[in-house]
Copies of this chain bind each other. A is one copy, B any other.
Protein backbone atom coordinates (compact mmCIF):
# COMPACT_ATOMS: atom_id res chain seq x y z
CA UNK A 1 0.00 0.00 0.00
CA UNK A 2 1.11 3.50 -0.84
CA UNK A 3 0.61 6.60 1.17
CA UNK A 4 -3.17 6.69 1.39
CA UNK A 5 -3.26 10.47 1.65
CA UNK A 6 -2.56 10.95 -2.05
CA UNK A 7 -4.89 9.18 -4.34
CA UNK A 8 -3.12 6.89 -6.80
CA UNK A 9 -3.60 7.69 -10.47
CA UNK A 10 -2.86 5.80 -13.62
CA UNK A 11 0.62 7.24 -13.53
CA UNK A 12 1.20 5.89 -10.03
CA UNK A 13 0.25 2.43 -11.15
CA UNK A 14 2.23 2.66 -14.36
CA UNK A 15 5.36 3.67 -12.56
CA UNK A 16 5.07 0.91 -10.01
CA UNK A 17 4.41 -1.67 -12.70
CA UNK A 18 7.15 -0.29 -14.87
CA UNK A 19 4.87 0.11 -17.86
CA UNK A 20 3.16 2.97 -19.67
CA UNK A 21 -0.09 4.59 -18.59
CA UNK A 22 -1.55 3.54 -21.91
CA UNK A 23 -0.97 -0.09 -21.09
CA UNK A 24 -2.49 0.25 -17.67
CA UNK A 25 -5.55 1.86 -19.18
CA UNK A 26 -5.81 -0.92 -21.73
CA UNK A 27 -5.58 -3.72 -19.21
CA UNK A 28 -8.12 -2.01 -16.99
CA UNK A 29 -10.51 -1.68 -19.89
CA UNK A 30 -10.16 -5.27 -20.95
CA UNK A 31 -8.34 -4.63 -24.19
CA UNK A 32 -5.86 -7.19 -25.49
CA UNK A 33 -2.63 -7.46 -23.55
CA UNK A 34 -0.07 -10.11 -22.78
CA UNK A 35 -0.60 -12.24 -19.69
CA UNK A 36 2.70 -10.93 -18.39
CA UNK A 37 1.49 -7.34 -18.77
CA UNK A 38 -1.82 -8.14 -17.23
CA UNK A 39 -0.42 -9.62 -14.09
CA UNK A 40 2.09 -6.81 -13.63
CA UNK A 41 -0.62 -4.20 -13.97
CA UNK A 42 -3.18 -5.95 -11.81
CA UNK A 43 -0.55 -6.48 -9.19
CA UNK A 44 0.36 -2.81 -9.16
CA UNK A 45 -3.31 -1.88 -9.07
CA UNK A 46 -3.96 -3.90 -5.95
CA UNK A 47 -0.76 -2.75 -4.33
CA UNK A 48 -1.61 0.89 -4.86
CA UNK A 49 -5.32 0.47 -4.22
CA UNK A 50 -5.95 2.31 -7.44
CA UNK A 51 -9.50 3.25 -8.39
CA UNK A 52 -10.21 5.24 -11.55
CA UNK A 53 -11.45 8.78 -11.11
CA UNK A 54 -15.02 9.08 -12.29
CA UNK A 55 -14.76 12.66 -13.48
CA UNK A 56 -11.52 12.37 -15.34
CA UNK A 57 -12.88 9.36 -17.13
CA UNK A 58 -16.11 11.15 -17.93
CA UNK A 59 -14.34 14.20 -19.26
CA UNK A 60 -12.47 12.10 -21.73
CA UNK A 61 -15.10 9.51 -22.53
CA UNK A 62 -17.89 12.04 -22.87
CA UNK A 63 -20.10 9.91 -20.73
CA UNK A 64 -21.09 10.66 -17.17
CA UNK A 65 -22.70 7.40 -16.08
CA UNK A 66 -25.34 9.48 -14.41
CA UNK A 67 -29.01 9.91 -15.13
CA UNK A 68 -31.25 12.59 -13.69
CA UNK A 69 -34.67 11.87 -12.30
CA UNK A 70 -36.98 14.79 -11.67
CA UNK A 71 -40.21 14.12 -9.84
CA UNK A 72 -42.88 16.53 -8.74
CA UNK A 73 -42.83 15.40 -5.14
CA UNK A 74 -40.48 12.89 -3.56
CA UNK A 75 -43.01 12.48 -0.77
CA UNK A 76 -45.95 11.28 -2.82
CA UNK A 77 -46.34 7.49 -2.75
CA UNK A 78 -47.02 7.32 -6.49
CA UNK A 79 -43.77 9.00 -7.32
CA UNK A 80 -41.96 7.03 -4.69
CA UNK A 81 -43.11 3.89 -6.45
CA UNK A 82 -41.81 5.25 -9.74
CA UNK A 83 -38.49 6.22 -8.21
CA UNK A 84 -38.17 2.85 -6.70
CA UNK A 85 -38.71 0.98 -9.91
CA UNK A 86 -36.42 3.30 -11.83
CA UNK A 87 -33.77 2.75 -9.22
CA UNK A 88 -34.29 -0.99 -9.54
CA UNK A 89 -34.08 -0.81 -13.33
CA UNK A 90 -30.73 0.91 -13.06
CA UNK A 91 -29.30 -1.47 -10.52
CA UNK A 92 -27.65 -3.70 -13.09
CA UNK A 93 -26.36 -0.89 -15.21
CA UNK A 94 -23.51 1.35 -14.20
CA UNK A 95 -25.67 4.43 -14.06
CA UNK A 96 -26.09 6.48 -10.95
CA UNK A 97 -29.29 8.35 -10.28
CA UNK A 98 -29.29 12.06 -9.53
CA UNK A 99 -32.51 13.00 -7.83
CA UNK A 100 -34.34 16.28 -8.22
CA UNK A 101 -37.57 17.28 -6.59
CA UNK A 102 -39.36 20.01 -8.47
CA UNK A 103 -42.19 20.43 -5.98
CA UNK A 104 -44.47 20.63 -9.02
CA UNK A 105 -43.18 24.15 -9.48
CA UNK A 106 -42.81 25.37 -13.03
CA UNK A 107 -39.92 27.65 -12.16
CA UNK A 108 -38.03 24.79 -10.58
CA UNK A 109 -38.71 22.60 -13.57
CA UNK A 110 -37.44 25.22 -15.97
CA UNK A 111 -34.35 25.77 -13.82
CA UNK A 112 -33.68 22.10 -13.82
CA UNK A 113 -33.94 21.77 -17.56
CA UNK A 114 -31.47 24.64 -17.81
CA UNK A 115 -28.93 22.93 -15.59
CA UNK A 116 -29.01 19.90 -17.83
CA UNK A 117 -26.81 21.90 -20.15
CA UNK A 118 -23.94 21.59 -17.73
CA UNK A 119 -23.71 18.06 -18.98
CA UNK A 120 -23.60 16.27 -15.66
CA UNK A 121 -25.96 13.51 -16.79
CA UNK A 122 -26.33 11.35 -19.85
CA UNK A 123 -30.10 11.46 -19.77
CA UNK A 124 -33.17 12.70 -17.96
CA UNK A 125 -36.46 11.28 -16.81
CA UNK A 126 -38.89 14.09 -16.13
CA UNK A 127 -42.15 13.46 -14.39
CA UNK A 128 -44.45 16.43 -14.63
CA UNK A 129 -48.06 17.09 -13.73
CA UNK A 130 -48.78 19.89 -16.11
CA UNK A 131 -46.75 20.19 -19.27
CA UNK A 132 -47.54 23.65 -20.52
CA UNK A 133 -46.14 25.42 -23.55
CA UNK A 134 -43.30 27.01 -21.63
CA UNK A 135 -42.05 23.74 -20.26
CA UNK A 136 -42.61 22.10 -23.60
CA UNK A 137 -40.42 24.64 -25.32
CA UNK A 138 -37.57 23.89 -22.95
CA UNK A 139 -38.06 20.16 -23.20
CA UNK A 140 -37.74 20.14 -26.95
CA UNK A 141 -34.60 22.24 -26.65
CA UNK A 142 -32.95 19.58 -24.54
CA UNK A 143 -29.82 18.20 -26.14
CA UNK A 144 -29.58 15.09 -24.00
CA UNK A 145 -31.75 12.00 -24.26
CA UNK A 146 -34.86 12.40 -22.18
CA UNK A 147 -38.14 10.76 -21.36
CA UNK A 148 -41.20 12.48 -20.01
CA UNK A 149 -43.62 10.70 -17.71
CA UNK A 150 -46.97 12.42 -18.03
CA UNK A 151 -49.26 13.61 -20.73
CA UNK A 152 -47.38 15.14 -23.64
CA UNK A 153 -49.20 16.62 -26.65
CA UNK A 154 -49.18 14.32 -29.65
CA UNK A 155 -46.78 16.14 -31.93
CA UNK A 156 -43.97 16.61 -29.43
CA UNK A 157 -40.99 14.54 -30.58
CA UNK A 158 -39.96 13.34 -27.15
CA UNK A 159 -40.18 9.89 -25.63
CA UNK A 160 -43.25 9.75 -23.47
CA UNK A 161 -44.75 7.37 -20.93
CA UNK A 162 -48.34 7.92 -19.96
CA UNK A 163 -51.29 6.24 -18.39
CA UNK A 164 -54.92 6.43 -19.32
CA UNK A 165 -56.63 7.74 -16.23
CA UNK A 166 -59.83 8.39 -18.13
CA UNK A 167 -60.04 4.68 -18.77
CA UNK A 168 -58.96 4.12 -15.18
CA UNK A 169 -61.90 6.05 -13.84
CA UNK A 170 -64.18 4.11 -16.16
CA UNK A 171 -62.91 0.87 -14.68
CA UNK A 172 -63.62 2.19 -11.22
CA UNK A 173 -67.17 3.18 -12.01
CA UNK A 174 -67.88 0.00 -13.94
CA UNK A 175 -66.71 -2.00 -10.97
CA UNK A 176 -68.97 -0.08 -8.63
CA UNK A 177 -71.91 -0.58 -10.96
CA UNK A 178 -71.12 -4.28 -11.37
CA UNK A 179 -71.16 -4.71 -7.62
CA UNK A 180 -74.61 -3.22 -7.37
CA UNK A 181 -73.93 0.43 -6.62
CA UNK A 182 -76.10 3.06 -8.26
CA UNK A 183 -75.81 6.21 -6.19
CA UNK A 184 -72.21 6.94 -7.10
CA UNK A 185 -70.37 10.09 -6.09
CA UNK A 186 -67.11 11.43 -7.50
CA UNK A 187 -64.44 13.21 -5.53
CA UNK A 188 -62.30 14.79 -8.15
CA UNK A 189 -59.09 16.75 -7.88
CA UNK A 190 -58.92 20.27 -9.30
CA UNK A 191 -60.75 20.31 -12.63
CA UNK A 192 -58.24 22.71 -14.16
CA UNK A 193 -55.54 20.05 -14.22
CA UNK A 194 -55.04 17.42 -16.88
CA UNK A 195 -55.64 14.57 -14.42
CA UNK A 196 -58.76 16.32 -13.15
CA UNK A 197 -60.27 16.62 -16.59
CA UNK A 198 -59.57 13.07 -17.67
CA UNK A 199 -60.97 11.62 -14.49
CA UNK A 200 -64.11 13.63 -14.92
CA UNK A 201 -64.46 12.50 -18.50
CA UNK A 202 -64.05 8.86 -17.57
CA UNK A 203 -66.57 9.18 -14.78
CA UNK A 204 -69.07 10.88 -16.98
CA UNK A 205 -68.73 8.35 -19.77
CA UNK A 206 -69.03 5.33 -17.53
CA UNK A 207 -72.02 6.72 -15.69
CA UNK A 208 -73.84 7.44 -18.90
CA UNK A 209 -73.08 4.04 -20.32
CA UNK A 210 -74.44 2.47 -17.16
CA UNK A 211 -77.65 4.37 -17.67
CA UNK A 212 -77.02 6.58 -14.65
CA UNK A 213 -77.61 10.29 -14.64
CA UNK A 214 -74.35 12.21 -14.47
CA UNK A 215 -76.13 15.53 -14.14
CA UNK A 216 -77.56 14.66 -10.76
CA UNK A 217 -74.57 12.63 -9.55
CA UNK A 218 -72.93 14.16 -6.49
CA UNK A 219 -69.56 15.52 -7.49
CA UNK A 220 -67.23 17.32 -5.19
CA UNK A 221 -63.94 18.94 -6.01
CA UNK A 222 -60.97 18.44 -3.74
CA UNK A 223 -58.61 21.40 -3.46
CA UNK A 224 -55.73 19.17 -4.46
CA UNK A 225 -54.76 15.52 -4.53
CA UNK A 226 -53.83 15.25 -0.86
CA UNK A 227 -55.39 13.39 2.04
CA UNK A 228 -56.45 16.49 3.92
CA UNK A 229 -58.13 18.08 0.94
CA UNK A 230 -59.87 14.81 0.20
CA UNK A 231 -61.11 14.48 3.75
CA UNK A 232 -62.59 17.95 3.64
CA UNK A 233 -64.19 17.39 0.27
CA UNK A 234 -65.92 14.24 1.46
CA UNK A 235 -67.08 15.98 4.60
CA UNK A 236 -68.67 18.66 2.43
CA UNK A 237 -70.22 16.00 0.26
CA UNK A 238 -71.77 14.19 3.19
CA UNK A 239 -72.96 17.43 4.75
CA UNK A 240 -74.88 18.51 1.70
CA UNK A 241 -76.46 15.17 0.77
CA UNK A 242 -79.20 13.21 2.48
CA UNK A 243 -78.25 10.09 4.42
CA UNK A 244 -78.45 7.13 2.05
CA UNK A 245 -78.20 9.33 -1.00
CA UNK A 246 -74.78 7.89 -1.75
CA UNK A 247 -73.76 4.26 -1.81
CA UNK A 248 -70.35 4.60 -3.41
CA UNK A 249 -67.55 7.12 -3.76
CA UNK A 250 -65.09 7.08 -6.61
CA UNK A 251 -61.97 9.00 -5.67
CA UNK A 252 -59.35 10.56 -7.90
CA UNK A 253 -56.51 8.97 -6.03
CA UNK A 254 -55.69 6.87 -2.99
CA UNK A 255 -54.91 9.78 -0.71
CA UNK A 256 -58.32 11.28 -1.31
CA UNK A 257 -59.85 7.85 -0.82
CA UNK A 258 -58.18 7.57 2.56
CA UNK A 259 -59.76 10.87 3.45
CA UNK A 260 -63.07 9.40 2.35
CA UNK A 261 -62.64 6.36 4.60
CA UNK A 262 -62.05 8.69 7.48
CA UNK A 263 -64.93 11.04 6.72
CA UNK A 264 -67.32 8.13 6.42
CA UNK A 265 -66.16 6.69 9.73
CA UNK A 266 -66.76 10.06 11.36
CA UNK A 267 -70.38 9.82 10.26
CA UNK A 268 -70.69 6.27 11.46
CA UNK A 269 -71.07 4.91 7.95
CA UNK A 270 -69.66 1.47 7.29
CA UNK A 271 -67.39 0.65 4.37
CA UNK A 272 -68.33 -1.17 2.21
CA UNK A 273 -71.71 -2.06 3.74
CA UNK A 274 -73.16 1.43 3.60
CA UNK A 275 -70.83 3.06 1.16
CA UNK A 276 -68.21 1.58 -1.15
CA UNK A 277 -64.97 3.49 -1.69
CA UNK A 278 -62.52 3.13 -4.51
CA UNK A 279 -59.25 4.95 -5.01
CA UNK A 280 -56.81 5.35 -7.83
CA UNK A 281 -53.07 4.69 -8.27
CA UNK A 282 -53.03 1.57 -6.16
CA UNK A 283 -50.22 2.85 -4.00
CA UNK A 284 -48.77 0.85 -1.14
CA UNK A 285 -51.21 2.65 1.09
CA UNK A 286 -54.23 0.95 -0.46
CA UNK A 287 -53.40 -2.43 1.00
CA UNK A 288 -52.65 -0.86 4.36
CA UNK A 289 -55.94 0.95 4.74
CA UNK A 290 -58.65 -0.10 7.07
CA UNK A 291 -60.56 -1.57 5.35
CA UNK A 292 -58.14 -2.34 2.52
CA UNK A 293 -58.87 -0.05 -0.34
CA UNK A 294 -59.97 -1.11 -3.81
CA UNK A 295 -58.08 0.97 -6.29
CA UNK A 296 -57.31 1.34 -9.96
CA UNK A 297 -53.63 0.85 -10.54
CA UNK A 298 -52.10 3.42 -12.83
CA UNK A 299 -48.97 1.29 -13.06
CA UNK A 300 -46.56 3.66 -11.36
CA UNK A 301 -43.88 1.02 -11.08
CA UNK A 302 -44.41 -0.07 -14.66
CA UNK A 303 -44.28 3.49 -15.88
CA UNK A 304 -41.02 4.03 -14.05
CA UNK A 305 -39.48 0.86 -15.44
CA UNK A 306 -40.66 1.70 -18.94
CA UNK A 307 -39.25 5.20 -18.73
CA UNK A 308 -35.92 3.81 -17.63
CA UNK A 309 -35.90 1.33 -20.48
CA UNK A 310 -36.82 3.94 -23.08
CA UNK A 311 -34.10 6.23 -21.81
CA UNK A 312 -31.41 3.57 -21.92
CA UNK A 313 -32.48 2.60 -25.41
CA UNK A 314 -32.32 6.16 -26.60
CA UNK A 315 -28.90 6.71 -25.09
CA UNK A 316 -27.84 3.58 -26.93
CA UNK A 317 -29.33 4.87 -30.18
CA UNK A 318 -30.15 8.58 -30.26
CA UNK A 319 -31.65 8.28 -33.74
CA UNK A 320 -34.59 6.22 -32.62
CA UNK A 321 -37.91 7.80 -33.57
CA UNK A 322 -39.81 9.30 -30.61
CA UNK A 323 -41.81 6.66 -28.82
CA UNK A 324 -45.00 6.88 -26.85
CA UNK A 325 -45.98 4.22 -24.36
CA UNK A 326 -49.29 4.04 -22.57
CA UNK A 327 -49.66 1.92 -19.48
CA UNK A 328 -53.14 0.53 -19.15
CA UNK A 329 -54.88 0.98 -15.82
CA UNK A 330 -55.88 -2.13 -13.94
CA UNK A 331 -58.58 -2.71 -11.37
CA UNK A 332 -57.47 -4.03 -8.00
CA UNK A 333 -60.33 -5.13 -5.80
CA UNK A 334 -60.04 -5.10 -2.04
CA UNK A 335 -62.52 -4.89 0.76
CA UNK A 336 -63.58 -1.28 0.51
CA UNK A 337 -65.92 -2.15 -2.36
CA UNK A 338 -66.58 -5.83 -1.76
CA UNK A 339 -66.82 -7.09 1.78
CA UNK A 340 -65.17 -10.45 1.35
CA UNK A 341 -63.18 -9.68 -1.76
CA UNK A 342 -60.63 -11.84 -3.38
CA UNK A 343 -57.23 -10.26 -2.86
CA UNK A 344 -56.86 -9.13 -6.44
CA UNK A 345 -58.99 -9.42 -9.48
CA UNK A 346 -57.57 -8.90 -12.93
CA UNK A 347 -59.25 -6.31 -15.05
CA UNK A 348 -58.26 -3.77 -17.64
CA UNK A 349 -59.04 -2.79 -21.17
CA UNK A 350 -61.02 -5.15 -23.39
Which of A's residues lie within 8 Å of B, judged by CB? 4, 7, 51-56, 58-59, 64, 66, 69, 74-75, 80-81, 83-84, 87, 96-101, 117-120, 143, 227, 255, 258-259, 261-262, 265, 284-285, 287-292
B75 near A84: Cβ-Cβ < 8 Å: yes
A98 near B99: Cβ-Cβ < 8 Å: yes
* Residue of B with least CB distance to A79: B80
Q: Given A51-B117, A55-B55, A55-B64, 5 more contacts at CB 8 Å?
A: A51-B118, A51-B119, A55-B120, A56-B59, A69-B99
For the complex, give the distance between the alpha carbons of A285 and B287 in Å. 13
Closest Cβ–Cβ distance, residue A58 to chain B (whole Å): 5
B101 near A98: Cβ-Cβ < 8 Å: no
B288 near A255: Cβ-Cβ < 8 Å: yes
For A56, list chain B residues within 8 Å (CB). Answer: 59
A66 near B98: Cβ-Cβ < 8 Å: yes
B54 near A120: Cβ-Cβ < 8 Å: yes
For the complex, give the distance between the alpha carbons of A4 and B142 in Å. 11
For the complex, give the distance between the alpha carbons of A259 and B288 in Å. 7
Copies of this chain: 2
**Residue from the list B52, B55, B75, B265 in contact with A284, Cβ < 8 A:** B75
Tell whether A4 pairs with B143 under 8 Å between CB atoms, given A99-B97, A120-B54: yes
For the complex, give the distance between the alpha carbons of A255 and B289 in Å. 11
A262 near B290: Cβ-Cβ < 8 Å: yes
Closest Cβ–Cβ distance, residue A253 to chain B (whole Å): 12
B87 near A99: Cβ-Cβ < 8 Å: yes
For A54, list chain B residues within 8 Å (CB). Answer: 118-120
B288 near A290: Cβ-Cβ < 8 Å: no
For A284, list chain B residues within 8 Å (CB). Answer: 75
B66 near A59: Cβ-Cβ < 8 Å: no
A55 near B51: Cβ-Cβ < 8 Å: no
The 7 nearest A-B residue pairs measured at CB: A54-B120, A54-B118, A51-B117, A99-B99, A55-B58, A227-B288, A55-B59
For A75, list chain B residues within 8 Å (CB). Answer: 80-81, 84, 284
For A97, list chain B residues within 8 Å (CB). Answer: 98-100
**Residue from the list B119, B285, B289 in contact with A53, Cβ < 8 A:** B119
* Residue of B with least CB distance to A63: B55
* Residue of B with least CB distance to A108: B91
For the complex, give the distance between the alpha carbons of A7 and B117 in Å. 9
14 pairs from A and B in contact (CB 8 Å cutoff): A55-B58, A55-B59, A74-B84, A75-B80, A75-B84, A96-B98, A96-B100, A96-B120, A97-B98, A98-B98, A99-B99, A259-B288, A265-B291, A285-B285
For the complex, give the distance between the alpha carbons of A258 and B293 in Å. 13
* Residue of B with least CB distance to A119: B53
For A100, list chain B residues within 8 Å (CB). Answer: 96-97
Closest Cβ–Cβ distance, residue A19 to chain B (whole Å): 23
* Residue of B with least CB distance to A73: B84
A74 near B87: Cβ-Cβ < 8 Å: yes
For the complex, give the distance between the alpha carbons of A195 and B130 in Å. 42
For A59, list chain B residues within 8 Å (CB). Answer: 53, 55-56, 59
For A96, list chain B residues within 8 Å (CB). Answer: 98, 100, 120
For A262, list chain B residues within 8 Å (CB). Answer: 288, 290-292
A55 near B119: Cβ-Cβ < 8 Å: yes
